[in-house]
Amino acid sequence: APQLRPWERKLSAAVHRGLYFLMVIAPLAGLLSASFTKYPMKFFGLVLPSVGWPESTLLNAVFNNLHKGAVWTLLLFLVLHVLGAIHHGLRRDGVMSRMFPRNAG
């Protein structure tokens, strides 16, 4: 197993936890935002069933802002993740080999 520096281990764990958290929060906040409008929710053109909650400009704005913030943060974490992979690939420290199955093919 590759030896990671303590700061690398902490940053890696934080980014991975953040990615999973944001992959749940971003779509959930978007769903909740859309739930408080009079417009039907669509997913790739498919109309989703309405939750039936009353219209609320305030709740729509709150969840819309949460959705946007979560998506931008997810993008930032994705960039950090890719930069980390490039960093380890250039260092040839064994981290990249853990990501790919042995004897593939």
| Residue 16: how many other CB atoms lie within 10 Å | 13
**pLDDT above 70 (res 16):** yes
* pLDDT of 105: 52
Task: For residue range 44-102, list pLDDT tens digits in order.
Answer: 999 887 777 889 999 999 999 999 999 999 999 999 989 988 887 887 877 777 777 66
CA angle (90, 94, 98) in 5-degree steps: 115
Residue 24 pLDDT: 97
For residue 43, the cross-strand partners are 46
Tens digits of residue pLDDT in 28-42: 999 899 899 988 888
Q: What confidence score (pLDDT) does residue 1 get?
A: 52
> Taking Cα atoms as reference points, which of 63, 19, 24 lies closest to residue 41?
63
The whole-number pLDDT of residue 84 equals 84
Q: Which two tokens stand for residue 63?
A: 């969840």
C-beta of residue 80 within 8 angstroms of C-beta of residue 15: yes
CA 75 distance to own-chain centroid = 7
